[in-house]
């Protein structure tokens, strides 16, 4: 039975998400829209399943939720900080930096989440991943201490991602 379930729903959460998006786009909640949304979710996920990597196992969803809250908070704070930098620091006084972040993460999904988190946070951009996947190149808009920024990325984000992607 579980084999049939996995065959029918190769990505069950994506199927549900696609069905919900379909219902929201139609702006009409009815049994027919739900059934059609689920059918679309199944067809789309089955049709694209060959291009999806294996799903990561053992993700701690509770920690992922708390990580998401932390990231949203950091995005809000960084928006204010970047706005202040743009307003108060003349261009010739900016201290941009390139930081190489050595990675302890090994799962591609965890590295992707880390790179996305860094890029989503205003003032920082993930620019490159080393060929071996052992380090991430990050550009910082303005910093007085690149080592402190490196330590913050390692402690605030990477340490938590290691706990999420067991």
57 — pLDDT class (breaks 50, 70, 90): low
Domain spans of the chain, in order of start = 2-51, 61-164
- Architecture in CATH for domain 61-164: 2-Layer Sandwich (3.30)
* Tokens 């990050």 belong to residue: 138
Any bridge partners for residue 101, and if so which?
136
Q: Which residues contact 160 (CB under 8 A, 6 or more apart)?
A: 63, 66, 67, 70
Token digits for 16? 């549900």
118 vs 75: CA distance, rounded Å? 10
Task: Give pLDDT, residue 8.
Answer: 72
Task: Give pLDDT, residue 9.
Answer: 72
149 vs 99: CA distance, rounded Å? 8
Percentage above 70 pLDDT, the chain? 93
Lowest mean pLDDT among 52-56, 112-116, 132-136: 52-56
Measured CA distances, 152 to 38, 112, 138, 155, 159 (Å): 42, 18, 13, 5, 10
**Would the CA dihedral through 69, 72, 144, 147 be positive or negative?**
positive
């Amino acid at each position: 039975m579980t084999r049939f379930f996995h065959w029918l729903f190769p990505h069950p959460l994506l199927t549900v998400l696609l069905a919900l998006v379909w219902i929201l786009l139609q702006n009409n909640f009815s049994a027919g829209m739900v059934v059609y949304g689920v059918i679309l979710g199944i067809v789309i996920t089955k049709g694209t399943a060959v291009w999806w990597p294996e799903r990561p196992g053992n993700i701690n969803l509770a920690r992922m939720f708390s990580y998401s809250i932390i990231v949203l908070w950091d995005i809000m704070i960084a928006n204010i900080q970047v706005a202040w930098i743009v307003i108060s620091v003349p261009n010739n006084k900016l201290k941009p930096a390139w930081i190489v972040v050595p990675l302890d993460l090994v799962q591609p999904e965890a590295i992707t989440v880390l790179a996305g988190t860094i890029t989503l946070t205003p003032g920082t951009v993930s620019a490159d991943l080393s060929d071996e996947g052992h380090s991430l190149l990050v550009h910082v808009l303005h910093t007085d201490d690149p080592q402190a920024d490196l330590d913050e990325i390692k402690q605030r984000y990477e340490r938590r991602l290691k706990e999420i992607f067991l």
